């Protein structure tokens, strides 16, 4: 029973409002950074040549960080049972493989005319 | 914590976890695959439209029965505002859940109302955006971009709408005093769904609106 109780006490040791607020602030600034990267890559200027070629990787990384923050702290995957993380992360990995595979397939495969 | 108290809070299951929570996580996992297929479809057809309107660039498009030059349709500032509101709604719903678990009714009702308001704002933003696109000559079947865009963001919008209905129902019950701390899981399940809707938008926003 001790193990049973331990599982549940871990399951409920959720973060405090202070931590939720800090995560919200980080999410807000990361979103602002995404839009800033988009604008810098779009508008003619000295920074366009620097940001333009790397804007897609920048956006993907920022998006991945935001995704992870929400999943870990707001969805409580960091504190909750590992089973929940498995139920979420495993399909997520399959989803990522599907997206990458289809992009590659459609980039290199052409319909015969 | 005594055994009796532990069992009162958590029904004994083979996993030691509440079955409803396991079910919502399994559902969220399946939804990942659903949205992956829609995002893939959008990406593989990106840039392959033969006529406009296009997301960012000016193009030739059919408007009022004749070919005309039309500008890119996206309004990034508006969608950025919607994105920020949706992100903050995730913050608000965790505060509401915190209030529900601590038995703080004022906190629960206040933050849950704010979450519902944010959800309604986002849905309103999307309805405005779709209407605006339609008036710019972009219907569902206009080109590959419009079909894949409306399918992806439309399904996301319908998920947000369902989330708003779910959270509003819980808000109604909470206002009537039917969400005591021992029933906070009811809100936690809705909150997990709401966060999922948020993380899907975290992917859609840069992929659809910011990557040219």
Please list the pLDDT of chain A residue by residue as tens digits (113 residues): 444 444 444 445 678 999 999 999 999 999 999 999 999 998 888 888 888 889 999 999 999 999 999 999 999 999 899 999 999 999 999 999 999 999 999 888 766 65
**What span, in angstroms and rounded, lies between the C-alpha atoms of B66 and B63?**
6
Contacts with A, B 84-113, CB within 8 Å: 84, 87-88, 90-91, 93-95, 98, 101
Domains of chain B: 28-210 (1.20.120.80)
Instruction: Say yes or no: A66 contacts chain B, CB-CB below 8 A.
Output: yes
Are B16 and A8 inside 8 Å of each other by CB? Answer: yes
3-state SS of A17-70 is HHHHHHHHHHHHHHHHHHHHHHHHHHCCCCCHHHHHHHHHHHHHHHHHHHHHHH
DSSP helix/strand/coil, B136: coil
Are A20 and B91 inside 8 Å of each other by CB? Answer: yes
Per-residue pLDDT of B45-67, as tens digits, reads: 998 888 878 888 888 888 777 88
Smallest CA–CA distance from A36 into chain B, residue:
B210
CA atoms within 13 A on the CB side of B88: 18
């Amino acid at each position: 029973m001790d193990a049973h109780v331990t599982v549940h006490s871990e399951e409920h040791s959720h973060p405090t409002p202070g931590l939720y607020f800090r995560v919200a602030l980080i999410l807000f600034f990361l979103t602002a950074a995404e839009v800033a990267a988009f604008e810098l890559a779009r508008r003619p200027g000295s920074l366009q040549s620097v940001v333009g070629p790397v804007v897609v990787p920048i956006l993907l990384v920022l998006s991945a960080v935001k995704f992870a923050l929400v999943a870990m702290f707001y969805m409580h995957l960091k504190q909750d049972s590992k089973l929940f993380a498995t139920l979420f992360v495993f399909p997520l990995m399959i989803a990522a493989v599907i997206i990458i595979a289809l992009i590659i397939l459609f980039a290199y495969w052409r319909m015969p005319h | 914590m005594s055994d009796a108290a532990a069992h009162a809070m958590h029904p004994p299951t083979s996993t030691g976890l509440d079955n409803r929570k396991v079910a919502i996580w399994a559902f969220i996992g399946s939804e990942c695959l659903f949205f992956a297929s829609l995002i893939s479809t959008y990406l593989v057809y990106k840039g392959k439209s033969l006529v406009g309107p296009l997301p960012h660039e000016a193009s030739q498009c059919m408007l009022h029965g004749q070919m005309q030059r039309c500008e890119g349709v996206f309004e990034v500032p508006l969608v950025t505002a919607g994105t920020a509101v949706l992100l903050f709604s995730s913050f608000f719903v965790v505060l509401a859940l915190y209030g529900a678990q601590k038995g703080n009714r004022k906190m629960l009702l206040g933050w849950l109302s704010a979450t519902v308001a944010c959800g309604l704002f986002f849905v309103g933003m999307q309805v405005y955006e779709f209407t605006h696109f339609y008036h710019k000559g972009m219907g569902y079947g206009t080109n590959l971009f419009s079909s894949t865009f409306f399918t992806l963001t439309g399904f996301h919008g319908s998920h947000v709408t369902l989330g708003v209905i779910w959270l509003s129902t819980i808000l109604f019950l909470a206002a009537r005093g039917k969400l005591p701390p021992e029933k906070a899981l009811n809100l936690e399940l809705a909150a997990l769904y709401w966060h999922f809707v948020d993380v899907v938008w975290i992917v859609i926003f840069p992929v659809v609106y910011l990557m040219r």
